[in-house]
Amino acid sequence: MCYIEIQKGSKSKYELDKETGVLRLDRVLYTSTVYPASYGFIPRTLADDGDPLDVLVLCSEPILPATLVQCYPIGVINMLDDGKQDEKIIAIPFREPTYNIYQDISQLPRHIFDEMMHFFEVYKVLEHKKTTVKEIMGRERAVRIIQKSIDLYHKTFRGDKK
């Protein structure tokens, strides 16, 4: 399950406010780039950056913010954001006839993940922040990262001793 914060094609960076549970505008992107896919997070996960695990959802239609979408992972973008590890899961809605023929990111047309990589390499340039896309990995790696983030969430917030 994915929670969408930002609609595909938007320059507005929304984030779920942890205190109110409502989306708030974090900023408008400084560059002329727009989000290449709907963007959000996977609920009940905790990534290494202390936030829920980020997700890009590939869909033929923009998905409205504050929407829950049942998705499956096909890959992950491994990047550095201001020198810190940052992973972005790439997922596809189960009920998406255009994209649900793909099971792994390696099956996508090259241009789709070139657009995603380019976005994450330049979207903070005019803010004088550095981002670097290190690599794109397939479905198996994405599944392991999601499980690790679920385990970290349970350990942190539920006291599991795993």
Q: Please, what are the domains in the chain?
A: 2-157 (3.90.80.10)
- The pLDDT tens digits for 32-76 are 999 999 999 999 999 988 899 999 999 999 999 999 999 999 999
Q: Is 82 annotated as a binding residue?
A: no
Residue keyed to tokens 């099956």: 107
Q: Is 48 annotated as a binding residue?
A: no
Q: What pLDDT, on the 0 to 100 scale, is given for residue 82? A: 84
DSSP state of 126: G
Q: Please tell me the number of Cα atoms within 13 Å of 43 on its side-chain side.
A: 14
Q: Is 3 annotated as a binding residue?
A: no
d(CA 66, CA 76) in angstroms, rounded, equals 22
Q: Is 123 annotated as a binding residue?
A: yes
d(CA 92, CA 104) in angstroms, rounded, equals 10
One-letter amino acid of 50: G
Residue keyed to tokens 């189960």: 94
**How confident is residue 161, by pLDDT bands cut at 50, 70 and 90?**
low
- The pLDDT tens digits for 72-120 are 999 999 999 888 889 999 999 999 999 999 999 999 999 998 999 999 9
Q: Is 104 annotated as a binding residue?
A: no
Q: What pLDDT, on the 0 to 100 scale, is given for residue 160? A: 62
Q: What pLDDT, on the 0 to 100 scale, is given for residue 56? A: 98
